Amino acid sequence: MDDTIQDITSELVTPLLIYFGKQGVTPFVMSVEGGEVLTLEEVPGPRLGQLLKEERFTTPIAREVYRILGTSAGSISRYGVMHGHLHSDNVVVTPDNKPVIIDWGQASYMPIRDDPEGWYMRNCLLLVEDVRYSGRDDREELERILMSAFDTSVRMPLERSYRELERAARDIMYG
């Protein structure tokens, strides 16, 4: 059984995905071909969209998943990455209940950040809609947790500049 997957993304986004993979926000990037074809470590677990429909996805578990997911979405936004279609089926929840964002084929990098509300619309809106229309009794609470964690995360300072991340990713990107 192969424990890797491949994804294609913009070459500008690749250094950021390497960094986010080390943080556990995205799958871990194992290799890069041509700057944009990524071999990623496969993430075990169900999709968040499926879990929203299951009774075993209890409110305490869901709270923690949405807190981490909001922080992750805020982190990618803080760095100027737009996922492109971040919805609950593009989030895998690991056996230890950690959400990991997958499917980066439509991701783009916009180095000039605008207001946090604009980034919220780019990277969180579909996640909010998915939980809002899930029919869960705790949907409003989960939506608030997601938005609060996103807001806190997107306003934090960058840990490293894009150039620093690009330099750190050079070996894996260009051999």
Question: Global pTM?
Answer: 0.94
If you average pLDDT over every residue of the chain, what do you get? 93
pLDDT at 114: 62
Integer angstrom CA distances of residue 152 from 22, 51, 68, 74, 155: 21, 25, 12, 8, 6
Helix ranges restricted to H, 42-89: 48-51, 59-78
The span from the CA of 151 to the CA of 79, in Å, is 14
Give the distance, in angstroms, between the CA of residue 134 and the centroid of all CA atoms in the same chain: 20
Q: What digits encode the pLDDT tens for the residues 4-37?
A: 999 999 999 999 999 999 999 999 999 999 999 9
Q: What digits encode the pLDDT tens for the residues 63-88?
A: 999 999 999 999 999 999 999 999 99
pLDDT above 60 (res 1)? no
Q: What digits encode the pLDDT tens for the residues 95-136?
A: 999 999 999 999 999 876 667 678 888 899 999 999 999 999
When comparing pLDDT for 119 and 160, which is higher? Answer: 160
Helix ranges restricted to H, 79-133: 116-123, 125-132
The mean pLDDT value for 58-65 works out to 98
pLDDT at 121: 84
pLDDT at 112: 66
